[in-house]
Amino acid sequence: MNYKYKYKLSNLDCPNCARKIETALNKCENITSASVNFAKLEINIETPLKSGVKKLVEKIVKNTDDDVKVLDLNSKEHSKIVFDVSRLAIGILLFIVSLFIPNHFMKEVLIILSYLILLFRVLKKTILMLIKSHSLDENLLVSISCIGAYLTHNIHEGLMVIILYEIGKILESIAVNNSRKSISELMDIKPDYANLIIDDEIKVVNPENVKIDDLILIKKGEKIPLDGIVVKGSSKIDNKALTGESRLVQVSENDVVLSGGINMDDLLTIKVTKTYENSTVANILSLVENATERKAKTENFVSKAAKIYTPIILGLAISLTLVLTLIFHMAFNDAIYRSLVFLVVSCPCAIAISVPLSYFSGIGASSKEGILIKGSDYLEASSKIKEIIFDKTGTLTDENSKSIKIEYIDLERDIDDINTYLVSGEVYSNHPIAKAIVSELKDAKKVKITNFKEEAGQGISYNIGKKKIKIGTRNHVGKEGFSEGTYMTIDNLVVAKINVYDGLKENAYEVINSLQKLGLNTMMFTGDKKDIALSTSEKLNIDECHYELLPQDKFDLLNNELDKYNGNVAFVGDGINDAPSLALAKVGISMGSIGSASAIEASDIVIMNDNLDSLIKLIKISKKTNKIIKQNLIFAIGIKVLVLLLSAFGLSTMWEAVFADTGVTLLTILNTTRILKK
């Protein structure tokens, strides 16, 4: 039998370090499985051990990264940024003071102290990695470069290497924390308790202990702990944490509410419809927690290359020293200096830091906009999309917003009279179809009606003078043999058919137009009839439309499109009947389905705010992230190659090498932080 444990991590600022810790934990024979959530700074452990688990985890983490601490979940995390900044400031101050001291001995003492303080973290990591894990990384290259620069009397260059390297690490930590903040804001939606109503008494319980059909009370200012239906009361709900939307949502009896929202007004009594493990908030938290686990191809390549890169560079530096002294008969001190320049230039910091940081920032920027991405591979894939295929109902159209087209059947009657009879009754109904009819016939004359009756889900009936009017389904108007639809009868004679269309979502036309301007082909797949589908397609100016499709038909057509565009196709749907297509597409995007577990399950990206504008934001964020990664790689590799070529001919010094490594690292980190800006 296995037991599950969860611990908090402190001082973990590097995605690569998180992967190293996870790998080390999974190698332990007493741990069945372990996962490190970098976004949430948590470790999840599954083990057969009943006790001593925390000490075991602490030992493994300490052996992997001595700076990272393992804490209990309720412990407070202490940031090491203040300590690092203070250490950096003291080291720089000691060096500046040494410049103005005439005494040679005191000058040397202050310089050595400055080196030790500034190199403290890097040297500590290097020694621990060599002793405990027998591995090498960029910390060793930085250590050798700085110590070598001091021993070859290039003191200023050596200090500049470590000063800029430490500034880069501090900036990386700040950038990661900003990205993590964007993601972790969503973690605040988890409810701490539920007010369970038992025999007119209120008992505060864990949301996980509440069952379906239980009644819970939501007070003003409290989070809604579970999905349910309002059975008593009316209030305004703040769903900002769920959807990113600032507008409050008005709810009353029979309205559905989702867990994670906040009650902003009066008391609400809710009948629970989902257990906590299947609730909206649990599904979203699960998705967010796993967002950083799926890695893009670029990120995976950098991670794998980093393991063998350092030993190769170290070997090349040693070989360079031997070649310069033995073959070219260069002075040993000069050969060492050239090799140190080579080591500094070759440090992979800019690449190793900027790539995972860029994807992490992209996921953070997206989550801020109410866009949840399951992994950096989907963020990368979104930047390469050539075609977007939309489901119609609930994706491009709004079921709560209707438009109508009246088909007049009794041509002997005056159309104005039919319109008058129609609108005079519908004005008394709150049904979406009734509102659409009233809106369409706003200029029609209205007359007095009597005996108004409304049957839920069927239609209305009323009298105008001695005439009996019925409007509604074929069963309601007594015409069972007719095709499905909404009919109007006067004295049992059918005079009109009201063809009902779902209204277009807000900004749907503008979004389709913007996608086309970005160079994407647009297509619509729907199960609706030809005339309805083509009407919607024409209104939106969609490039291509396919109608009367079953889920299998959509799947087959999508397969063809994937072949056509080399796999770079996104599918946008509601995540329920479109699940096969969402899973098949290169990028499956769920729109407006934050209450649907199947939407989160099947799709790669969830648009939580039901806003089509978010698709444009997603494409722009993904392209911006990809562009910045390319900029960083081209800039970093280009500068390094240039300085290496110059150093081969003795034309570059440690100063150029410092810029090629730590200077470039600083610039790539600063460039990466642009992703977080709107």
pLDDT digits (tens, 9 = 90+) for 308-346: 777 888 888 889 889 989 998 888 888 898 888 888 888
pLDDT score, position 423: 93
C-alpha count within 13 angstroms, C-beta hemisphere, residue 495: 22
CB 79 within 8 A of CB 13: no
Distance CA 557, CA 563 (A): 10
Architecture of domain 398-504: 3-Layer(aba) Sandwich (3.40)
pLDDT score, position 334: 87
* Ranges of H-type helices in 408-550: 415-426, 432-440, 508-517, 530-540
Q: In angstroms, how far is CA 405 from the centroid of its own chain? A: 41
Question: What six digits make up the tokens of 55?
Answer: 């000490």
First-to-last CA distance in the chain? 49
CA distances, 225 to each of 73, 180, 258, 273, 608 (Å): 21, 24, 8, 12, 18
Distance CA 353, CA 363 (A): 16
587 - beta bridge partners? 570
Distance CA 233, CA 247 (A): 20
> Catalytic: 391?
yes
Q: What is the pTM of this model?
A: 0.71
pLDDT of 228-260, one tens digit each?
999 999 999 987 766 655 578 889 998 889 888
Same fold, 192-225+227-273 and 398-504: no
Domain residue ranges in the chain: 3-71, 192-225+227-273, 398-504
Using alpha carbons, select from 587, 584, 539, 577 the residue that is nearest to residue 394.
577
290, exposed or middle or buried, with CB in 10 Å at 0-12, 13-18, 19+? middle
CB 247 within 8 A of CB 239: no
Which strand (E) or helix (H) includes residue 403? strand 397-408
69 - beta bridge partners? 10
pLDDT of 422-447, one tens digit each?
999 999 988 878 888 998 898 899 99
Looking up tokens 């990205």, which residue turns up?
179
Q: Looking at 391, 502, 528, 610, which residue is catalytic?
A: 391
Residue 515 CB partners (closer than 8 Å, separation 6+): 388, 522, 615, 616, 619
- Low-confidence residues in the chain, pLDDT < 50: none
Question: What six digits make up the tokens of 5?
Answer: 């444990």
pLDDT score, position 183: 61
CB 368 within 8 A of CB 182: yes
pLDDT score, position 603: 82
pLDDT score, position 599: 61
Using alpha carbons, select from 446, 375, 436, 355 the residue that is nearest to residue 402.
436
Sheet arrangement for strand 262-263: 249-251, 235-238, 262-263
Instruction: Report the top-level CATH class of 192-225+227-273.
Output: mainly beta
Q: Which fold has domain 3-71?
A: Alpha-Beta Plaits (3.30.70)
